[in-house]
């Protein structure tokens, strides 16, 4: 569902590359970015659908998930509010390769593909931002692949609580159900690991939400549970 949201303009104006964009292109950005809303559980952008642009989460939480294979699906990553996603899809002339699923009521911003391409073709600061973002996503993807193949459930749950995935906040506002969907584990397994982390003083659990109490201890826990 399309909707008008002034927050889309405010978000785009807050980007570190926006101030150095030529005024004519700034005007186009303000006029042409738009927002969409999704309900909890909705597949906002299915795999195989056309790519309309580059997206950011204005509010809520989405999961990037591979299509089902042999009866199973695999979550790639969760994207919280304030973060961009889908740059790889926007840069390739092909349909989207993964589902974008809203884990809670969510509002997304779309930077339309013609504007995305214009910025890539003409603007250095935008490209520098994009390279940093791609490097961050690559690090996340490689870590997820390694953890899924070699690491314990304890390590995988703790990994999804680390700053690698949540750079802007340590109070995650994440339910155990949402965390389980991201990690690909049952709520019961996630709850068991979180209770253990709470006993160690690494996290606190309030009304189903997770907060990181001790980042250093979380790092030590990840090192201790890593497969050798």
* Per-residue model confidence (pLDDT) at position 4: 42
**Vertex 157, ends 154 and 160: CA angle to 5°?**
145
Alpha helices in 22-77 (DSSP H): 23-32
Instruction: Identify the structural domains of the chain with CATH numbers, from first to last.
Output: 2-123 (2.60.120.10), 151-225 (1.10.10.10)
pLDDT in tens, 23-78: 999 999 999 999 999 999 899 999 999 999 999 999 988 988 877 644 444 556 78
Exposed/middle/buried for residue 22 (C-beta within 10 Å: 0-12, 13-18, 19+)? exposed
Ranges 69-83, 104-118, 179-193, 208-222: which has the least confidence: 69-83
The C-alpha atoms of residue 100 and residue 173 are separated, in whole angstroms, by 20
Q: For residue 202, give both structure tokens.
A: 């690494």
pLDDT in tens, 13-32: 999 999 999 999 999 999 99
The C-alpha atoms of residue 17 and residue 166 are separated, in whole angstroms, by 22
Q: For residue 59, give both structure tokens.
A: 């509010």
* Per-residue model confidence (pLDDT) at position 224: 87
- Where residue 209 falls among pLDDT bands split at 50, 70, 90? confident
The C-alpha atoms of residue 110 and residue 84 are separated, in whole angstroms, by 10
Exposed/middle/buried for residue 183 (C-beta within 10 Å: 0-12, 13-18, 19+)? buried
């Amino acid at each position: 569902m399309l909707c008008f949201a002034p927050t889309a303009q405010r978000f785009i104006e807050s980007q570190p590359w926006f101030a150095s964009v030529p005024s004519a292109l700034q005007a186009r950005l303000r006029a042409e970015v738009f927002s969409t809303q999704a309900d909890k559980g909705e597949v906002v952008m299915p795999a195989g659908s056309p790519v309309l642009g580059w997206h950011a989460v204005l509010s809520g939480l989405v999961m990037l998930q591979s299509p089902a294979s042999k009866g199973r699906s695999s979550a790639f990553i969760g994207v919280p509010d304030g973060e961009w996603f889908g740059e790889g899809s926007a840069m390739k002339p092909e349909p989207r390769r993964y589902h974008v699923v809203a884990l809670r009521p969510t509002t997304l911003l779309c930077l339309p593909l013609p504007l995305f391409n214009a910025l890539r073709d003409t603007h250095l600061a935008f490209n520098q931002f994009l390279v940093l973002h791609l490097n961050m996503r690559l690090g996340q993807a490689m870590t997820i692949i390694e953890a899924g193949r070699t690491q314990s459930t304890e390590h995988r749950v703790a990994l999804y609580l680390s700053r690698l995935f949540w750079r802007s906040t340590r109070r995650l506002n994440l339910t155990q159900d949402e965390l389980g969907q991201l990690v690909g584990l049952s709520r019961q397994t996630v709850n068991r690991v979180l209770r253990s982390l709470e006993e160690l003083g690494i996290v606190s659990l309030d009304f189903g939400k997770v907060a990181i109490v001790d980042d250093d201890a979380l790092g030590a826990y990840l090192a201790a549970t890593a497969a050798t």
